[in-house]
């Protein structure tokens, strides 16, 4: 067996343990009784430590050195590169920090579920303090080795190659035109008459509609499932994808779009190259690309006029006792494209959503770079909400700085992926439309050509290419936010 093959076997072993960790974490968020959290957190921390020790095994350094001199195919060279990248990132952290961060994150996330409900910032802050401290320690370690700013080093975990310099440029551009666009859209929509969802929509009926929509979107239910959690997410592994959403019986719109969003994540996972399964090179390219797929499904497809035309008969089918007038396609289009600045990121419309991300990016950037304290977050959050969206969260922690799950386990650097994903999604759609009549495909419920384009250009590539290479190869150019701007203008002002 070659040194490269030995490395592959080792990383497939790591993938198996990551599989168990993913399912355990899903169960902790969805099925586990509250009383099991302490022991589950301890078990997950032990598993995290074991995975970390496998990822930093002493023999790997020599194996990498020897594999470099072996004759490898182009795919094998990319595979070796991705294994080496993971190894380098893993070897930076001491075992005790990995275990401590896992324990602190589990404790903080579990308590957050009730603390958020109770608007208990003071209680949350006690656990959050340790998560921030350990994350800052990790950021410093990574920064020293990579010669980057601490936040850039954390950002690299989710969006390899990205930097504050790049994000500051992109987000500054968005801030220069999004506020005016938002005002124009609100002014245009002010005179539009529509029927708001004001009735009761039973959870079970919402779930069935969600399952039908997932089927329309090509979700493989033999390798995944839909459940309920306090925060929607897509977890598990490519052969066993776990989607969750949350239901509000006063509003069927948000849960359904949440399902469409997570189905985009799931289709990406299910479409990753089977031949490379278990290897880093077979994994998703980055969180920005991952979010591009979920936002392609939710925004580019899910809120298009053509797709909403397909949802109209589904709503009539699943809510037969409700007023059918609200489910008319023309009315649904107004519901699904309503622009209203609001507190909650996951419920935000497509136009105001980037403001939620920019706000979080600016706070976590300064937090990891040591410019602010975790205690400053509520006040900064309120200031930025007023500046970017014109609403105040003073004293409203549950709908302000406590609303997201990401920071509870120290996932600092993740948030920019959402808006990068929205920009990539618009760019992918523009490229796809040069080859595929997307509108006709949706109208005829013949979505296979759309999925084939995504599979051939994004999904099957895994991590064979860098993010820039993937975007250039599939669209002909690097990241270009003008497609996103054009998309919003056409949909909301056209």
Name the H helices within 31-120.
37-55, 59-67, 74-91, 95-117
Residue of 109, 138, 262, 362 with catalytic role: 262
CA 275, chain centre distance (Å): 25
- Give whole-number Cα distances, 172 to 166, 167, 269, 358, in Å: 10, 8, 32, 9
CA 365, chain centre distance (Å): 18
The answer to whether the CB of 369 falls within 8 A of the CB of 151 is: yes
The answer to whether the CB of 272 falls within 8 A of the CB of 455 is: no
Q: Quick check: helix, strand or coil at residue 240?
A: strand
DSSP of 150-201: HHHHHHHHHSTT--HHHHHHHHHHHHHHHHHHHHHHHHHHTT-------S--
Q: Name 443's Cβ contacts closer than 8 Å, sequence gap at least 6.
A: 306, 309
CB atoms within 10 A of CB 312: 17
- Give whole-number Cα distances, 174 to 20, 171, 259, 430, 484, in Å: 40, 5, 27, 19, 10
Q: Which structure tokens are listed for 416?
A: 């920019």
Q: Are strands 234-237 and 224-228 parallel, antiparallel or unpaired?
A: unpaired
Residues 241-277 as b or e (16 or more Cβ within 10 Å = b): bbbbbebeeebbbbbbbbbbbbbbbbbbbbbbbeebe
Q: Name 346's Cβ contacts closer than 8 Å, sequence gap at least 6.
A: 231, 232, 254, 258
The answer to whether the CB of 389 falls within 8 A of the CB of 395 is: no
Q: Quick check: helix, strand or coil at residue 227?
A: strand
Judge whether 269 counts as a catalytic residue: no
Q: Quick check: helix, strand or coil at residue 244?
A: strand
The catalytic site residues sit at 262
């Amino acid at each position: 067996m070659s040194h490269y093959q030995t490395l592959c076997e080792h990383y497939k072993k790591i993938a198996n343990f990551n599989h168990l960790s993913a399912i355990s974490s899903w169960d902790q968020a969805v099925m586990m009784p509250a009383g099991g959290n302490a022991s589950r957190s301890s078990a997950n921390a032990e598993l995290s430590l074991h995975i970390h020790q496998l990822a930093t095994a002493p023999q790997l350094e020599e194996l990498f050195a020897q594999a470099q001199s072996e004759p490898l195919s182009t795919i094998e060279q990319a595979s070796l590169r991705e294994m080496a990248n993971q190894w380098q990132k893993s070897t930076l952290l001491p075992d005790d920090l990995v275990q401590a961060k896992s324990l602190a994150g589990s404790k903080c996330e579990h308590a957050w579920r009730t603390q958020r409900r109770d608007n208990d910032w003071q209680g949350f802050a006690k656990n959050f303090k340790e998560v921030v401290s350990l994350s800052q320690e990790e950021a410093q370690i990574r920064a020293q080795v990579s010669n980057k700013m601490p936040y850039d080093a954390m950002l690299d975990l989710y969006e390899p190659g990205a930097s504050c310099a790049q994000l500051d440029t992109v987000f500054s551009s968005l801030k220069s035109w999004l506020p005016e666009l938002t005002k124009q859209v609100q002014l245009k929509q002010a005179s539009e008459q529509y029927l708001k969802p004001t009735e009761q929509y039973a959870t079970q009926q919402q779930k069935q509609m969600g399952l039908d929509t997932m089927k329309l979107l090509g979700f493989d239910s033999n390798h995944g499932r839909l459940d309920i959690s306090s925060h929607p997410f897509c977890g598990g592994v490519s052969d066993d994808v776990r989607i969750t959403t949350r239901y509000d019986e006063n509003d069927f719109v948000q849960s359904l779009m949440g399902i469409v969003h997570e189905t985009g994540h799931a289709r990406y996972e299910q479409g990753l190259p089977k031949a490379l399964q278990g290897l880093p090179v077979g994994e998703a390219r980055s969180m920005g690309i991952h979010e591009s797929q979920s936002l392609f499904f939710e925004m580019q497809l899910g809120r298009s006029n053509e797709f909403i035309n397909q949802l109209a008969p589904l709503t009539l089918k699943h809510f037969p006792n409700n007023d059918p007038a609200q489910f008319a396609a023309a009315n649904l289009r107004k519901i699904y494209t309503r622009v209203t600045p609001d507190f909650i990121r996951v419920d935000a419309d497509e136009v105001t959503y980037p403001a939620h991300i920019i706000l979080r990016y600016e706070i976590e950037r300064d937090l990891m770079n040591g410019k602010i304290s975790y205690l400053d977050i509520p006040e900064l959050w309120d200031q930025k909400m007023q500046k970017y969206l014109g609403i105040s969260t003073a004293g409203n922690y549950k709908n302000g700085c406590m609303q997201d799950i990401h920071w509870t386990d120290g996932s600092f650097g993740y948030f920019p992926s959402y808006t990068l994903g929205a920009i990539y999604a618009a760019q992918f759609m523009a490229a796809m439309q040069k080859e595929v009549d997307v509108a006709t495909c949706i109208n005829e419920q013949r979505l296979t050509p759309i999925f084939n384009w995504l599979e051939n250009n994004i999904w099957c590539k895994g991590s064979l290419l860098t993010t820039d290479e993937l975007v250039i190869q599939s669209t002909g150019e690097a990241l270009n936010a003008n497609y996103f701007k054009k998309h919003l203008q056409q949909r909301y002002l056209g």
